[in-house]
Chains A and B, each alone.
Chain A
């Protein structure tokens, strides 16, 4: 293990996501948990958030972004004292940060900190130590994506085609073959 480095990941849950109920916030975190199934991050923060969110969620649901900051701050103590899986810290300008326990496995360790303001997750950061000491941005996490949301290919720009290994025979009918013939 080498020194942990901090990376920013935006957003584990999309910025501005409004969590209106416990169930919804848990579901959002469950989907966000895709990023780090092996570390149980989703679970850890599910606990943190389900104790935190409801106080602000009621108003956040109807007046997103305008919830008073005192409500958010007020729940901080509850979370910090009542939740052993995470810790709350820092309450700057209505924002509250929550740091999960450090989760480790053979791949390294990971610790996630989320920032909540007005019932919304506004930022997620984490520190990690991978086995080789590299620290990476979860910007590169993979999330479920509809085909309509996948970046479309602009065939005019394509200079080569990547696909599952084709045999010499299959090559003759492949898109790569078409490109090679045009050259």
Chain B
């Protein structure tokens, strides 16, 4: 793999995964630290792997949402809106009823990091957190940021790619293999094993990738009539479902 390697790249760990931040040119002063701060703050508050986090208190410690912080309430409300918008295909609740906002927190972090980058004057960058990608502007030389999609049948290879644009800057993928079956399924009849959604913002892309993976083709079809998206979904049978951007 060869790349245009001008510019700056910075990698750090947060939320149990790696976050990669690439700039087409030099990173604006303070931009990298601002991005790290966004991830750190959200991780500290929302991680269910941290016993002292507020999210842990909500999920297991008896802290009612109504008495939680404003930020926790807003995030829960956002997740509830997405649950309604996807007819429950996306849900902030685990099967046991406990609240799990992990499904939106990483996307919120990416989204806020994008705002922080813009606030620091960053115009041309590509931010990847655990396989979910938000881009702005273009690579060095004016080429669009191109996001490769992992082949679910061979994770060492790329299945396809998408050249990001102003209208479609965000790419998110949900799958069943990397962290096990981390998405709660609604039906097993027509199983999708990996869903990549390209959207106008990273929260929409991430939530819908999760919802479509969970809800299958019925949710995919409905999502495409409601949001402007490009999608490629892989099923257990090896079939793919694609929107035009992913077809030759």
Give the shortest distance, in Å, between B157 (CB) and chain A (any CB): 8
Q: Which 4 A-B pairs have the closest CB atoms?
A: A164-B175, A163-B150, A183-B9, A153-B158
Minimum C-beta distance from B144 to chain A (A): 9
- Please report the number of residue pairs spanning A and B whose Cβ atoms sit closer than 8 angstroms: 236
Q: Which residues of A contact B106 (CB under 8 A)?
A: 165
**For the complex, is B173 an interface residue (Cβ under 8 Å from A)?**
yes
Asked if B225 and A128 sit within 8 Å, CB to CB, the answer is yes
Cβ–Cβ < 8 Å partners of A163 in chain B: 131, 149-150, 155, 173, 175, 178, 194
Chain A residues near B230: list those with CB within 8 A. Answer: 140
Report if A164-B221 is in contact (Cβ < 8 Å); known contacts: A134-B227, A158-B147.
no
Given contacts A161-B149, A167-B16, 15 further A-B contacts (CB under 8 A): A38-B218, A108-B226, A142-B242, A149-B242, A151-B245, A155-B2, A156-B1, A159-B3, A160-B146, A161-B158, A162-B171, A162-B172, A163-B149, A175-B150, A178-B1
Question: Could you tell me if A162 and B245 are in contact, using CB atoms closer than 8 angstroms?
Answer: no
B residues in contact with A183, CB < 8 Å: 3, 5, 7, 9, 22
Q: Which of B188-230 contact A (CB under 8 A)?
A: 194, 196, 217-218, 220-222, 224-230
B169 to chain A, nearest CB (A): 12
Cβ of B13: which chain A residues have Cβ within 8 Å of it? 168
Let me know if B142 is at the binding interface, CB within 8 A. no
- Counting contact residues on chain B (CB < 8 A from A), the size range is 35 or more
Q: Are B226 and A164 in contact (CB under 8 A)?
A: no
Q: Tell me if A63 is interfacial: C-beta within 8 Å of chain B.
A: no
Q: Are A162 and B221 in contact (CB under 8 A)?
A: no
Cβ–Cβ contact B224 & A164, under 8 A? no
Q: Which of A134, A159, A182 contacts B146 (CB 8 A)?
A: A159
Write the residues of chain B forming the contact surface with A, with a CB cutoff of 8 angstroms: 1-5, 7, 9, 11, 13, 16-18, 20, 22, 85, 87, 106, 126, 128, 130-133, 135, 139, 143, 145-150, 152, 155-156, 158-161, 163, 171-179, 182, 194, 196, 217-218, 220-222, 224-233, 238-248
B132 CB to nearest A CB, Å: 7
A158 and B240 contacting across the interface, CB-CB below 8 Å: no
- Which residue from B126, B158, B241 sits with its C-beta under 8 Å from A142? B241
CA distance A126 to B180 in the complex (A): 40
For this complex, 19 residue pairs linking A to B, each with C-beta atoms less than 8 Å apart, are A107-B222, A107-B226, A110-B225, A136-B224, A143-B241, A144-B241, A151-B246, A156-B1, A162-B131, A162-B147, A162-B148, A162-B172, A164-B152, A165-B106, A165-B182, A167-B16, A168-B13, A171-B130, A180-B11
**Cα-based distance from A134 to B199 in the complex (angstroms):** 14
Report if A3 contacts B (CB, 8 A): no
| A149-B171 Cα distance, complex, nearest whole Å | 21
**Which of A14-22, A29-37, A113-121 is the contact stretch?**
A29-37
Contacts of B244 in A (CB 8 A): 139-140
Q: In the complex the two chains form, is B220's CB within 8 Å of A142's CB?
A: yes
